[in-house]
Structure 1
Amino acid sequence: MKFKIHEIISKLEALAPLSFQEPYDNAGLIVGRQEDEVDAVLLTLDVTEEVIDEAISSGAGLIIAHHPVIFKGLKQLNGKNYVERCVIKAIKNDVAIYASHTNLDSVPGGVNSKMCEKLGLKECCILSPMKGQLLKLVTFVPVEQAGIVREAIFAAGAGHIGNYDQCSFNLPGEGTFRGSENTKPFVGEPGKQHTEKEARVETILPRYRKGKVLSALLESHPYEEVAYDFYPLENDWAETGMGMVGHLPEPMDEKSFLLKVKETFRCGAVRHTRLLGKPVKKVALCGGSGSFLLNEAKASGADVFITGDFKYHQFFDAGDQLVIADIGHYESEQFTKEVFYEILTENFPNFAIRLSEVKTNPVMYL
């Protein structure tokens, strides 16, 4: 069975839209064409030459990775480094490459959720919610048609606040308008001013759903010319953002917990700050390089902060407020392949989806 690449990646982007990626990132389809068909997919954390060889030998026409093989623009393709060699080999062998990176870091059900799951954390939530991702829609609808319009924009993704949906505010009023002789107004007559009882409908939506919500509004609204406004909001959006924080089912002493972390993530070593002699109840974490979230981890009241790539001097910043546990970049994100696998097998149950057997971690331990 074959599927077009855009059909496959649309299921990933339904969870982790590309608009959620950080400005420096390069998530998305890096090599290949969306309309191409493939009959197998290979899932990996990193794209290396060995991974591309594995895709070729297994007949996988699409590699889905967490880390983009290209971060910066390529000015030449001479094969002088592994990035150029990977791109050349992928193109020569018709292997497409897709990456879901910081956008997958930013959503429940993504990288950090999988880390929480592996540790058995409960009551998990986003550690550092996103800003600037919400819009408010205001529109004006004849009172009798307001319900139809609300249902349409709710179905398109508007009206969600936390665990509630179909949220809106409605205010009655009167609208006035006069159409030219070339109009066919829903109410009133061309060339005459008309006053209509209308409802001012306000609701909230994620910025990335603006296009769908607007289409739903225009299709469901009875007027020829629809009055609407989108307002950017500065509210935090607790449903997306970097890192997560959760609670252990039962408190553990610090050493036992760190040993559990080491075993769970199959770490060669765990670099950590000094133990504080307190039970571990609340845990903050971030897959990959998460040192930038240390202050948020402290503010959350976490007893331990798990991530990778802490620098020497950054360990001092723990300040005896929590224990920093640096488990390594690869180790913290290695289960991302399982996230991909779960999404794709649910949506494509009869499709060949393979987990890469290449261990791409470039860091070794004696």
Structure 2
Amino acid sequence: MKLSLLTKFLESYAPLNYQEDYDNSGLIVGEGDLEIAGVLVALDCTEEIVEEAILHGCNVIVTHHPIVFKGLKRLNGSNYIERVVIKAIKNNIALYAIHTNLDHVHNGVSGEICKRLNLKNPRVLRPKTGLLKKLITFCPNEQALQVRGALFNAGAGQVSDYSECSFNTEGYGTFKGSANTNPFVGEKGIHHQELEVRIETIFLAQDERKIIVALLENHPYEEVAYDIYSLNNKLHNVGAGMVGWLDQGMETEEFLIYLRDKMNASVIRHTQPLPKKIRRVAVCGGSGSFLLPDALAANADVFITGDFKYHEFFDADKKLMIADIGHFESEQFTSNLLVEIIQEKFPNFAIRLTEHNTNPINYFF
């Protein structure tokens, strides 16, 4: 199997345009036509991970964190990032990262935390904007059904749990074709007025090419008139963090023990407990302090994430409890998630979960 088939699947699960601007998800080292011998999955790409891939004959490494965040000006092995990239290139090993785009999908990093904690009815804490576009086109009344159907089959018209959504209005289109035209209706050189349907529908930005191809292949006109607009609407099933419910409320100490055991956390740093049971739980894998206002707005009883700074704990303002379990601890099961989704798609595929713990932080008790 070629690497391009794997990356295409991963990018359909977590599209690259879902990542943050600062991120560097995608294929970092390697070429799409590489024949895959085996895939190693890890949270981070370190020299030990590359050595593990070499040992087990894996020529593709899929990680959550990108080894390269910023542009490299040289490759001389002066730091671990350069050494990892050099070692991968020398051994013809492809490096692929699926980072904040995986954070932002419903069944991604935060979704995995919700699953581990058995949270019910989880929803995105901060939905993303700028991921939707609107198509407006015009076609003869008799062909409107065919055009709409083609657009829907290409992925347009999905609004939450509703599909095939569109708005249609009738009006008159006018045109006059030159001697070089071959009009579907009317005659060249003669002004024509045609009863048409204005079709409006929305689609995901990453599907734009498919939508346009479907439109042009199924529209009867020689020249197809259409407009595409970018929307700022929230996409409620895509975004940062999640919030859900425990089956039953828990006392603080009971919940902290539950959280420690479920997330395999060595230490939990937390703010002052609230004088009530914990029921509504907000989560974010990795560094999630930026979502504290969203957790407060969601009336969460606790917000679970990593990398809170000292002064940021005061921002809880006794309105919820912050539970910082650590960056690695909040994302450590992401590797298991990646193995599961790849194996489900490619059941006969050679894929390995790393044997290394890449957490750079150690604890002394």
Report TM bin, short chain: over 0.9
Select 1:188's aligned residue among 168, 182, 186: 186
Give 4+ residue runs of structure 1 displaced > 2 Å after superposition.
none
The residue aligned with 1:319 is: 317
Which whole-Å CA distance do the structure 2 matches of 1:282 and 1:339 have between them?
Answer: 24
The residue aligned with 1:248 is: 246
The 5-angstrom pairing of residues 252-291 of structure 1 reads 252-291=250-289
Which whole-Å CA distance do the structure 1 matches of 2:33 and 2:193 have between them?
Answer: 50
The residue aligned with 1:130 is: 128
Residue by residue over 1:309-340, the C-alpha shift from the partner in whole angstroms, topping out at 9 and shown as x without a partner, is 00000000000110000000000011111221
Helix, strand or coil for the counterpart of 1:38?
A: coil
Residue by residue over 1:10-30, the C-alpha shift from the partner in whole angstroms, topping out at 9 and shown as x without a partner, is 111111111111010000100
Q: Given the alignment of the two structures, is residue 141 of structure 1 paired with residue 143 of structure 2, yes or no?
A: no
Which whole-Å CA distance do the structure 2 matches of 1:339 and 1:210 have between them?
Answer: 29
Helix, strand or coil for the counterpart of 1:35?
A: coil
The residue aligned with 2:164 is: 166
Select 1:18's aligned residue among 16, 23, 27: 16
Q: AA paired with 2:322?
A: I
**Are 1:116 and 1:124, in contact at CA under 8 Å, matched by a contact in 2?**
yes
Q: Given the alignment of the two structures, is residue 293 of structure 1 paired with residue 265 of structure 2, yes or no?
A: no
**Are 1:39 and 1:351, in contact at CA under 8 Å, matched by a contact in 2?**
no
TM-aligned CA deviation for residue 277 of structure 1: 2.0
Which whole-Å CA distance do the structure 2 matches of 1:166 and 1:100 have between them?
Answer: 30
Helix, strand or coil for the counterpart of 1:223?
A: coil
Residue by residue over 1:175-226, the C-alpha shift from the partner in whole angstroms, topping out at 9 and shown as x without a partner, is 1111111111111111111111111000111112111111111111111111
Structure 2 spans left out of the alignment, 5+ residues:
none
Helix, strand or coil for the counterpart of 1:125?
A: strand
TM-aligned CA deviation for residue 151 of structure 1: 1.1
Aligned length: 364
Select 2:105's aligned residue among 92, 104, 107: 107
Structure 1 spans left out of the alignment, 5+ residues:
none
Identity of aligned residues (%): 55
Which whole-Å CA distance do the structure 1 matches of 2:357 and 2:323 have between them?
Answer: 23
The residue aligned with 1:86 is: 84
The residue aligned with 1:346 is: 344
What TM-score, normalized by structure 1, do the two folds share? Answer: 0.98
Q: AA paired with 1:94?
A: N
- Measured on the aligned residues, the alpha-carbon RMSD in Å equals 0.8
Which whole-Å CA distance do the structure 2 matches of 1:234 and 1:279 have between them?
Answer: 37
Helix, strand or coil for the counterpart of 2:85?
A: helix
TM-aligned CA deviation for residue 39 of structure 1: 2.0
Q: AA paired with 1:146?
A: A
What TM-score, normalized by structure 2, do the two folds share? Answer: 0.98
Q: AA paired with 2:294?
A: E
Q: Given the alignment of the two structures, is residue 359 of structure 1 paired with residue 349 of structure 2, yes or no?
A: no
Helix, strand or coil for the counterpart of 1:37?
A: coil
Select 1:34's aligned residue among 32, 35, 44: 32
Which whole-Å CA distance do the structure 2 matches of 1:346 and 1:90 have between them?
Answer: 27
